[in-house]
Homo-oligomer: A and B are copies of this chain.
Amino acid sequence: MTKARKAVLEVLGTAERPLSASEISSLVSHCCDPVTIYRTLHYLEDKGLADSFVLHCTEHGTERYFTLLAPGEASYAHHHWFHCEHCHQFIDLGDCRIGTLVDAYQEELGIRVTGHTLYLTGVCPACSSLGRNGQEHDHRGHESQSE
């Protein structure tokens, strides 16, 4: 196990939220080059040790976010996330709850599903209670749909 991989596993394992390559990169900048972070993340995803999704947020732009995925360990199972459009923080939605739905699709359509991406966006409780209801600098939202 290389130093870089150890470091990335460390930060991913400690963080309780998805991290982007750039966040990881700055968290372990003392140890390795950004390019290595990208390569390491590919490696981890390839080995089934990490999970990722692409999300666009007005503050950080479009980036891929990663979480650890340790087979067997409940705390590292495949989760889904909510992303607050205001404070740009993630809220853990817990273990995946669409297994049944995915199975239904497989049966109905004869497809074989090997992966899925699901995340929600909106306003978190903290931002809501601060009166940030999303009507302010909200560029594209009004319905409970999309993206």
Query: Chain B residue with minimal CB distance to A113?
Result: B122
> A interface, by DSSP: helix, strand, loop or mixed?
mixed
**Interface size bracket, A side:** 35 or more
Query: Shortest Cβ distance from A137 into chain B, in angstroms?
Result: 13
In contact, B116 and A120 (Cβ under 8 angstroms): yes
Query: Shortest Cβ distance from A84 into chain B, in angstroms?
Result: 8
Complex CA–CA separation, A69 to B144 (angstroms) = 13
Query: Shortest Cβ distance from A43 into chain B, in angstroms?
Result: 11
A38 at the interface (CB under 8 A from B): no
> With A56-B54, A118-B116, A144-B114 in contact, is A139–B46 under 8 Å at CB?
yes
Pick from B48, B102, B117, B146: contact of A51, CB below 8 A.
B146
In contact, B110 and A128 (Cβ under 8 angstroms): yes
Chain A residues close to B by CB (< 8 Å) = 45-46, 48, 51-56, 62, 69, 78, 82, 84-85, 91, 93, 96-99, 101-102, 105, 109-125, 128, 133-134, 138-147
What 5 A-B pairs come out closest when comparing CB atoms?
A110-B125, A113-B122, A114-B122, A78-B145, A114-B141
